A and B are shown apart, each in its own frame.
Chain A
Amino acid sequence: MPESGKRRKLTRGEMLVIAAPYAWIALFFLAPFALIVKISLSQPAQTRPPYEPVLDLANGVAGLFEKLSQFGLGAYRGLAEDNLYLDSYLSSLTIAGVATLICLIVAYPFALAIARAPRRLRPILIGFAVAPFWTSFLIRVYAWIALLKDEGLINHALMALGLIDAPLPMFATSGAVVVGIVYSYLPFMLLPLYAAIEGQDASLREAAADLGATPLQVFLHVTLPLSRRGIVAGALLVFIPAVGEFVIPDLLGGSDTLMIGRTLWNDFFANRDWPAASAAAVALLALLLFPILLYERAQLREDAR
């Protein structure tokens, strides 16, 4: 059989290697997600579990079909009609967007400095930057309460210095949530940026300087555009989990800080409206899938070149 191009049949072993991660994803991601989709199509009920219909074969196959007809898009309709969800989505996107931008602004000089440090110091500096993240995420976010609250460290210091008379209301605000997200997700921005800057050929910067570019112009015309992939990767790694973040808004946010993760939690545990919460989760995934697909497409295009 003539072989066309580089394509060839996979051996049994290769197929097995490729199949293993897909099986993992199917079992631990797709199967639970299918359950969530199913619940999102159900109706809330005062039962255990708190939705209908529950699929079983108690009434035979005919009963199963009868139950299937009870599925509907009611939860999604509710999602569209309830302003709380729309507001939560928009507020989540805004907070995550602002936090991502600040992460980028904070992490870039860091990454640049580490990438320009002597070669043998670089792993140590990266280690220092990532070291705090070996402790519990929850504890670290909790520590911010002690820093931000009215009687907290920051207000205390500012008042002692005579810079302010009354404590600044920082704790339990959207700003506190942004601070928490920036703090928690910084390494996810730092590492791809560092990799993108560190991998650049130093002779490109020399060539730019040789052609008359000042250090600032070298940065703007060479270093920055060549780190674009790192910026995109870091932004997605921060933005996507930040949108669905629950712990940080719950600990640092105020009662008026709307984020979709919190709204979901309320519906699930406080209101016991599982179909509505599931529908919101499915909608969130659809919302986040879009930027991920965009990124993947950009990656593919880049690799093809």
Chain B
Amino acid sequence: MTDAPLLSIKGASKRFGAVTALEDVSLEVGGGEFFALLGPSGCGKTTLMRLVAGFETLDSGRVEIAGADMSGAPPHRRPVNLMFQSYALFPHLSVFENIAFGLRRQGAGKTEIAARVAELLQIVRLEGVETRRPDQLSGGQRQRVALARALAPRPRLLLLDEPLGALDRQLREETQFQIKEIQRRLKTSFVVVTHDQDEALVMADRIAVMRAGRIEQIGAPAEVYERPATRFVASFIGQMNFLEGHMESGAFVGPFGRLPAGDDGLEDGAKAVLAIRPERLAIAPASEAAEGLRGVIEDVAFRGETTHFRLRLSGGETLRVSRGADGGRSFSIGDAARVSFPPSAARLFASE
């Protein structure tokens, strides 16, 4: 990251009639950073992206790109390009002309355009289709043309709206790595909008998790995964077990018993939720373990790399436990087992 952030959004709010799309959103994206806006549909991530591109205007707040205030700047005067979710390729133009569109608007010369288009087709690994029309391409090819077209005018910042949304599963994984590789090579800042947590975790340097027009947490993928700031983030990203209970003299107490709790700033008597990842739970046969929550195995799912167990605690709650292929005893349905975890692996949230 450089000193001055490439993109800076300060206190952005936007309403559509009675619907609040964005509520006091602030974030910064550095030069060369791969940033993800992650959230369920309707959380405001697309609105935020369209604000940056210039297709929407703010009710209040500011958008700055490379230190310059963008309020009042129309889309065609912003050093930003957008890769549309629908790709929005020009159906009446060839692949070459689609990619050259932005270059022609910049007044580039003939040889320069030809060289740049060839370079981009090589970057996205799509050579030999220059003369085809968009409707003569496969979905994966169209996606690459859209990426090449948005990159052609050398934007300071590239916005990608659900760039993998229209691809099938296998192509999606492959393309994730390709996009990340292209971003690293070009050192252009990328802001990707997605509802797919895997996409965000795999590709982004930092993730902003959004919900109902607000940012819940901004952090590196590992940070967001390991230390979710809110219960929503904890439940939205990855698998998570939640146990309801309350605080009692520094411990978390529920129908299952007492658990030691870290310092989470919750007062005595406060209702709380404990969140623990399935893979952070250690499971052992009840006969061999003295410590931990006791329960009965209700379901076993073998998934190759991992095995998943569903454990019903004596208090009635269920816990999902996952264990790597390497180890330990196997369990079958009906076995009694105990699960335990280090206090640092769990997070406590105030009940909502």
A contact set with B: CB distance below 8 Å = 201, 203-204, 206-214, 217, 221-222, 225-226, 228, 305
A-B contact pairs, 22 of them (CB 8 A): A203-B86, A206-B53, A206-B55, A206-B82, A206-B84, A207-B82, A207-B89, A208-B101, A209-B54, A210-B76, A210-B150, A211-B76, A211-B101, A211-B102, A211-B150, A212-B102, A212-B105, A212-B153, A213-B101, A213-B105, A214-B76, A305-B133
Decide yes or no: A210 and B81 within 8 Å by CB, A201-B86, A203-B86, A217-B105 being known contacts. yes
Decide yes or no: A212 and B88 within 8 Å by CB, A206-B55, A207-B82 being known contacts. no
Chain A residues whose CB sits within 8 angstroms of the CB of B101 once the complex forms: 208, 211, 213, 221
Chain A residues whose CB sits within 8 angstroms of the CB of B90 once the complex forms: 204, 207-208, 221-222
Decide yes or no: A210 and B86 within 8 Å by CB, A225-B92, A226-B91, A305-B133 being known contacts. no
With A211-B105, A212-B76, A212-B102 already in contact, 4 other A-B pairs whose C-beta atoms are closer than 8 Å: A207-B149, A210-B76, A212-B153, A213-B76
Nearest Cβ in chain A — how far from B215, in angstroms? 24
| CB interface residues, B 91-136, toward A, < 8 Å | 91-92, 101-102, 105-106, 133, 135
Please determine whether B88 and A207 come into contact, CB atoms closer than 8 angstroms.
yes
Please determine whether B84 and A203 come into contact, CB atoms closer than 8 angstroms.
yes
Nearest Cβ in chain B — how far from A196, in angstroms? 12
Please determine whether B105 and A204 come into contact, CB atoms closer than 8 angstroms.
no
Chain B residues whose CB sits within 8 angstroms of the CB of A209 once the complex forms: 54, 74-76
Interface residues in B, total, Cβ within 8 A: 26
How far is B290's CA from A1's CA once the two chains are assembled, in angstroms? 76
Chain A residues whose CB sits within 8 angstroms of the CB of B106 once the complex forms: 212
| CB interface residues, B 66-86, toward A, < 8 Å | 74-76, 80-82, 84, 86
How far is B93's CA from A228's CA once the two chains are assembled, in angstroms? 13
Chain A residues whose CB sits within 8 angstroms of the CB of B150 once the complex forms: 210-211
Decide yes or no: A211 and B81 within 8 Å by CB, A201-B86, A203-B86 being known contacts. yes
**Chain B residue at smallest Cβ distance from A228:** B92
Nearest Cβ in chain B — how far from A224, in angstroms? 10
**Chain A residue at smallest Cβ distance from B91:** A226
Nearest Cβ in chain A — how far from B22, in angstroms? 19
**Chain A residue at smallest Cβ distance from B79:** A212
**Chain B residue at smallest Cβ distance from A225:** B92
**Chain B residue at smallest Cβ distance from A208:** B101
How far is B244's CA from A12's CA once the two chains are assembled, in angstroms? 70
